[in-house]
Structure 1
Amino acid sequence: MMIPPDDNLEKDMADDLRKKVCDALEKECADKPWLVEGDCHSYIKEMRKPHVWGGEIEISMASHVLKMPITVFVVEKTGGLRVFTKYGKEYGRNAIQVLFDGNGHYDVLSLR
């Protein structure tokens, strides 16, 4: 069983991941400015702020930064879970699993 980091270490790890994801997105935007709505530079500048929530593009970039697959699930009307999308399939089978609520919010289901 994995022991979660203390609050300070968790914040530092999250800040480091955010920086790496934004750096990767910045590199991608240089060649593909259509990746985000509006101006890439402004978008990334906003995403670098710790209180701003990421979305689909940040999850995709996180998969590449972590070199781990990330599987996104949604809740079906029946109450079951359905795979919505997978990022980073090239990194193997053990995936970080997140739940998308359909309104722009993601929650971690498991880390494998």
Structure 2
Amino acid sequence: MFRAIVQGAQYATRGKAMPAESEGTAAHNLRLAVVAELRKRREEIEPFLPGIAPDFDEYCKTMSHPMAWGGEPEMLMAMHVLGRPITVYHVSDRGLEPIVTYGEQLLAAPGAAAPVHLLWSGAHYDLLVPAAA
């Protein structure tokens, strides 16, 4: 998820992929910024974690590790960190459909940053890029 988000932000701002050798570092830096944002917004996010983790501090510690999978709380925090909307899609009988846009309010702002588009497969997030890319 973190790699897909940093690559999506790269596509949205520069129209091309981030070099592979930079992706891991950028994803890890985003992860650390997301954990810092979780801690900063503890009162806002902690009520939603009981079904995910019994202890907020332990949850943040776990999310700091590169192998921990991110989910909705991290997606929301990544939107805050990047100041850019993140739209998640899934494939249905009708094709590609949006599920949710984190930071939908950012879309209406003057000079709004282009959103990152991700595909949720049911187990993993992958980056969606325009066909021309």
Tell me, yes or no, whether TM beats 0.5: yes
Secondary structure of the 1:86 match is strand
Match of 2:103 in 1: 88
The sequence identity of aligned pairs, in percent, is 34
1: CA distance between counterparts of 2:15 and 2:101?
24
The alignment partner of 1:68 has SS state of coil
> Which of the pair has the greater relative contact order for Cα pairs under 8 Å at 6+ separation?
2
Deviation of 1:9 after TM superposition, in Å, equals 1.6
Name the stretch that deviates more: 85-94 or 46-55.
Answer: 85-94
Structure 1 residues 11 and 101: CA distance shift in structure 2, 3 A: same
* 1:99 to 2:112 alignment: no
Q: Map 1:51-62 onto structure 2 (within 5 A).
A: 51-62=67-78
Map of 1:18 onto structure 2: 31
The 1:62–1:32 alpha-carbon spacing in structure 2 relative to 1, beyond 3 Å, is closer
Q: Give the whole-Å Cα distance in 2 for the aligned partners of 1:65 and 1:90.
A: 15
Mean CA deviation greater in 88-97 or 12-21: 88-97
Structure 1 portions without partners, runs of 5+: none
User: How many matched pairs?
Assistant: 109
TM-score (norm 1): 0.85
Partner of 1:35: 48
Once residues 64 and 73 of structure 2 are traced to their aligned partners in structure 1, the CA distance between those partners, rounded to angstroms, is 14
Superposed displacement of residue 58, structure 1: 0.7
